[in-house]
Structure 1
Amino acid sequence: MPEVTTVDPATGQVLATYPAAGVDEVLTVLAGVHAAQPAWAARPVEERAELVRAIGAQLRKESAELAALMTAEMGKPIGEARAEVEKSATACDFYAEYGPAFLAARPVDTGGHQRSWVAQEPIGVVLAVMPWNFPFWQVLRFAAPTLLAGNTAVLKHSPNVTGCALAIERVLRDAGLPADVLRSVVVAEDDVPEVSRVLIEDDRVAAVSLTGSERAGAAVAAAAGRAVKKSLLELGGSDPFVVLADADVELAVAGAVRSRFLNSGQSCLAAKRFVVHADVAEEFTARFTEAVRELQVGDPRDEATQVGPLARADLREGLERQVHESVAAGARVLTGGAPLAGPGAFFAPTVVTDVTLDMPVLAEETFGPVAAVVVVADDDEAVRLADGTRYGLGASVWSADPGHALAVGRRITSGALFVNAVVASDVRLPFGGTKRSGYGRELGEAGALEFTNARTYVVGGGVPTGPATE
């Protein structure tokens, strides 16, 4: 029987081993989730909302234990882990409070004696394929609105956070949701492509949501396209952080450090490419590099730690390759630049400069504590470099004049633009990407409606007498 083993990335020690499900077992789980959906959808939306609110309360009740589990499985600094649990609970609160209004039927005046309205109705079972870097937030931001709408879900989480996946299912059950409203399936890494394909092709699955790599997204989108099913993709990002000539450098540096090194640099919406005007480049680079040198790297269970390990050893190896190849091509390391000695998947917080668009630290997504600084002569060059990527998730622009920053930012393709602020997801605002960062929207009202059928209803007042049209 295949197994999934979780490993503490801070020590390299095995945490737990779980039996993995084969295709037949996964389809049995799907059958239960599919059978549960009509009864769940038949509950009044207000009742579903109170159960979603109860999930938030349960998350808060178990915050310490859930945060510790997250830290053990993927190395997230413990303070950030607690904040992630709280943010997940906040998503439940938001959708419990505002979701019923988002989902309410909307009357439309179509004239005559007929009544017309548009209802947002559940579509059925949604498959959620989720990543390891925010193991609670990325599931709950999907689950809260999707389940509230009356859908049920099968969760295929990343194998290295299997404990978190099973904990999420249990938290929902302990909050009072029926057992089959959301089920986690544990799948061995080698079996993920085949199991995902089988699930997407199954008629009982109505749609799929994936947060993950570009490669995984392309495979899921292709399978969903062949099955003519809706898909939502939230993929990679290589977000630009643009510092204009009139920016407050001290403020920009503080934002740069926070944006790049949150979650040890393992975030799709983290700033990764720092595009800095020549007038402030020397000051920004010096201050930024010094601030990065001062970051506390260490045991993620220590409250003082700001940067923990990467989630897996292979991720550290990939990051080392990107830096090494960029340096070989002419990039210059200002601090860091290599793995740290000792156990665990630690990589030194790194700043590189003298980079060009063809180097891996700019051309590829760097998923770890590495920042690349590029100096530009004017706004036009800043836009060209900021937009010179196949990704388009977020962008931030820094200037003493917000109007100036907005004018520059509007010329950069992205799903979100932040001015003098760090790009972050907010449950009140829609979130998603452009270009190869994906499509579809989570969070906000858009997230509440993403997996619903906007169904048109017309009740006529008599026999129509006009000409027939489509």
Structure 2
Amino acid sequence: MDFTSINPATGETIKHYPAWTDSDLEQALGLSAEVSSAWQSTPIEARCELLSNLVRTLRENSDFHAAKITLEMGKPIRESRAEIEKCAWAAEFFSQNTERFLRDELVETDASRSYVAFQPIGTVLGIMPWNFPYWQVFRFAVPVVAAGNCALLKHASNVPQCAEAIEKIFQQSGFPPGVFQWLRISHAQSEKLIQDPRVHALSLTGGEQAGRRIAALAGKSLKKTVLELGGSDPFVVLADADLELAATAAVTARFQNCGQSCIAAKRFILVDAIADEFLALFKRQVEVLSVGDPSREETRLGPMAKSDLRDGLHHTVAESMRQGAVPLAGCEPMAGPGYFYRPSILDRVQRGMPAYQEELFGPVAVMVRARDEQEALALANEHRYGLGASVWTRDSAKGEDFARRLQCGAAFVNGMVKSDPRMPFGGVKDSGYGRELSIHGLREFTNIKSIWIG
């Protein structure tokens, strides 16, 4: 397995990391098993103090870590700084709330005393993607270690410098050796690791096929899994929406991180009555997006993270146009070095087209037209994914009712979908199962134990 840093803005190879041998992996597993019992017994207050150290370490070195993100996966530097701050926010949130979230819950029964306890389960393996190379890891790891578990990270192979830096953050913050470890292992080694009895649960953020494979392997060993497998989030604009507000939010919701986000708005479902007006407002803002060097402050859109992703995206766009979709902007790669793709709008996308059926992970906005609100809801819900969704309307009561009927893990009214440490994050249908963040995410990897005292 090749762990190689490539700058997607230039195509330049930066650094190689050697893959681990089976002996290296065994040493890491042994260390995790050795420290696990002591870490589980560490008082929650002490674990939370280390999380506070983590917050300081991140914020004091924000520019250094943001530059790592921008260098390895091409995120504009302003967005990279925001990603680091979000990691710090999550660590801060759990440092302040873990003791309350894990407090015993008293239950009235026929016992003299009975309650529910939330106890660590051991070691959790996280298999994480490249698109938010710090945030995805912290979203997984912070609640895991806060709950008293050890965390093992198998990160995406194209962001090894980010993975290495994250491991050092935990070390610099005072976490005991072995509580958090980055594993430079192959897919074959990962599959063996999943079945190792020293690994007690798994968390995966990634593609649908990877999720099915991981779930099957974990199922053979009866291990708990949390899966976040992407989405094709609908951004529904109703006839009474504030179109200026919706169009401005839509540009950010689609093109942030070059469209490489599970919860990016991917299908814009527009009621016919306002479709043309919304598109005109949206297109005007897309055409002035600054595309270029992601290390420059003014850049809004950097390169895609990998060349094969750009090739796959364009194949989907081209095939959809062949089937009748209408290009309104972009819809082609940019010439020159790096993996840049023009900010694009694809209109009149219909059922059966690849751009409708597949998750477009890149800077292409897919426009789908609906006759009325009823058809808009049906279009939003008929997709196999169900991660996030948003609806836009001036009538907040109608928006709330619409949101409750959306088949997804998170529904937003007059706001773009985003993750928040205070709210659970996860999906339904082929977007996976389980939740991260909030009290619900913290308890996912605990033994929820009933204790009855006669």
Worse overlay, 451-460 or 243-252: 451-460
Cα deviation, 1:19-49, whole Å, max 9, x if unaligned, reads 1113332222111111111111111100000
Aligned pairs for 1:161-172 within 5 A: 161-172=159-170
Distance, in Å, in 2 between the alignment partners of 1:363 and 1:296 is 29
CA shift, 1:387, in A, is 1.3
8 A Cα contact 1:269 1:424, kept in partner: yes
Distance, in Å, in 2 between the alignment partners of 1:104 and 1:362 is 45
Unaligned residue ranges in structure 1 (runs of 5+): 461-470
Cα deviation, 1:63-113, whole Å, max 9, x if unaligned, reads 11100011000001000000000000000000000111101112222235x
Worse overlay, 280-289 or 17-26: 17-26
CA shift, 1:61, in A, is 1.1
CA shift, 1:137, in A, is 0.7
Match of 2:177 in 1: 179
CA shift, 1:415, in A, is 0.4
Cα deviation, 1:386-421, whole Å, max 9, x if unaligned, reads 112110000100001011122223222000100000
Match of 1:464 in 2: none
Matched, 1:299 2:290: no
Match of 1:96 in 2: 95
**SS state at 1:240 partner:** strand
- For 1:135, which of 106, 125, 133 is the aligned residue? 133
Matched, 1:391 2:389: no
Match of 1:21 in 2: 20
Counterpart of 2:181, as a letter, is: R
Match of 2:304 in 1: 310
Match of 2:153 in 1: 155
Counterpart of 2:278, as a letter, is: F
Distance, in Å, in 1 between the alignment partners of 2:161 and 2:218 is 28
8 A Cα contact 1:331 1:355, kept in partner: yes
Match of 2:242 in 1: 248
Worse overlay, 315-324 or 22-31: 22-31
Match of 2:275 in 1: 281
CA shift, 1:53, in A, is 1.3
8 A Cα contact 1:297 1:305, kept in partner: yes
- The structure with the largest alpha-carbon Rg is 1
Cα deviation, 1:356-384, whole Å, max 9, x if unaligned, reads 11111110000000011111111111011
| Aligned length in residues | 454
Match of 1:355 in 2: 349
Distance, in Å, in 2 between the alignment partners of 1:21 and 1:283 is 55
Cα deviation, 1:325-362, whole Å, max 9, x if unaligned, reads 00000011000000000000000000011111111111
Distance, in Å, in 2 between the alignment partners of 1:379 and 1:219 is 37
Aligned pairs for 1:229-268 within 5 A: 229-268=223-262
Task: Please tell me the root mean square deviation across aligned C-alpha atoms, in Å.
Answer: 1.0
Distance, in Å, in 2 between the alignment partners of 1:196 and 1:388 is 34
Counterpart of 2:416, as a letter, is: V
**SS state at 1:261 partner:** helix
- For 1:226, which of 181, 204, 220 is the aligned residue? 220
**SS state at 1:160 partner:** coil
Runs of 4+ aligned structure 1 residues displaced above 4 Å come to: none
% identical aligned pairs:
49
CA shift, 1:214, in A, is 0.6
TM-score between both structures, scaled by the size of structure 1: 0.95
Match of 2:77 in 1: 78
Match of 1:337 in 2: 331
Counterpart of 1:51, as a letter, is: L
Counterpart of 1:376, as a letter, is: A
Counterpart of 1:91, as a letter, is: A
CA shift, 1:3, in A, is 4.2
Unaligned residue ranges in structure 2 (runs of 5+): none
Counterpart of 1:202, as a letter, is: D
Distance, in Å, in 1 between the alignment partners of 2:314 and 2:26 is 40
**SS state at 1:231 partner:** strand
Cα deviation, 1:248-280, whole Å, max 9, x if unaligned, reads 100000110010011110000000000011111
Cα deviation, 1:274-327, whole Å, max 9, x if unaligned, reads 001111111001111111111110000000000100000000001001100000
